[in-house]
Amino acid sequence: MVDLAAMVSSTLAGDRKPFNAVLMMASNARKVRLVAEVLPNDMPLTVLTSQNRVAETLIEAGIECSLLEESLTAQGLGVLNQMHDLVLQAIGEGRLSRGERLLVVLAEPIDGVMAIDTTMLNTNRFANLAQEFNIDLEVLTQLMKLARHLGGRGREGHAVGALFAIGALPSLRKHSTALVLNPFKGHPAEKRTILDEANHETLAEFAWLDGAILFNKDGVASDAGRYIQVPAGVTTKAGEGGRHLAARAISQLTDGVAICVSSTGSITLYAGGRDRYKVRLS
Read off the pLDDT of residues 133-185 as tens digits, 9 standing for 90 and up: 999 888 988 898 888 888 766 555 555 689 999 999 999 999 999 999 999 99
* CATH (domain of 13): 3.40.1380.20
Residue 273 pLDDT > 80, yes or no?
A: yes
**Least confident range of 14-28, 43-57, 77-91, 213-227:** 77-91
Instruction: Count CA atoms closer than 13 A to 46's CA, side-chain side.
Output: 18
240 residue type, one letter = E
Phi, psi (degrees; rounded to nearest 5) at 103 = -100, 115
Task: Based on the fold, state whether residues 181 and 93 are members of the same structural domain.
Answer: no
Residues 194 and 231 in one domain: yes
Within 8 A by CB and 6+ apart from 249, the residues are 175, 228, 229, 230, 231, 234, 273
Number of domains making up the chain: 2
Tell me the residue type at 57.
T
pLDDT above 50 (res 195): yes
Report the half-sphere exposure of 54 (CA within 13 A, side-chain side): 22
Looking at 59, 88, 123, the residue that finishes a domain is 123
Tell me what the pLDDT averaged over the chain comes to. Answer: 84
**Residue 17 domain boundaries:** 4-123
97, 123, 149 - which closes a domain: 123
Q: Is 12 in the same domain as 114?
A: yes
pLDDT in tens, 99-122: 788 888 888 767 888 888 776 654
Statement to judge: residues 259 and 147 lie in one domain:
yes
The residues with which 258 forms a beta bridge, in sequence order, are 165, 270
Residue 34 Ramachandran class (φ > 0 left, ψ -120 to 50 alpha, else beta): alpha
- What gap in Å lies between CA 273 and CA 180, rounded to an integer? 26
CATH number for 187 = 3.40.1700.10
Same domain flag for 228 and 276: yes
Provide the whole-model pTM. 0.63
Neighbours of 263 (CB within 10 A): 14
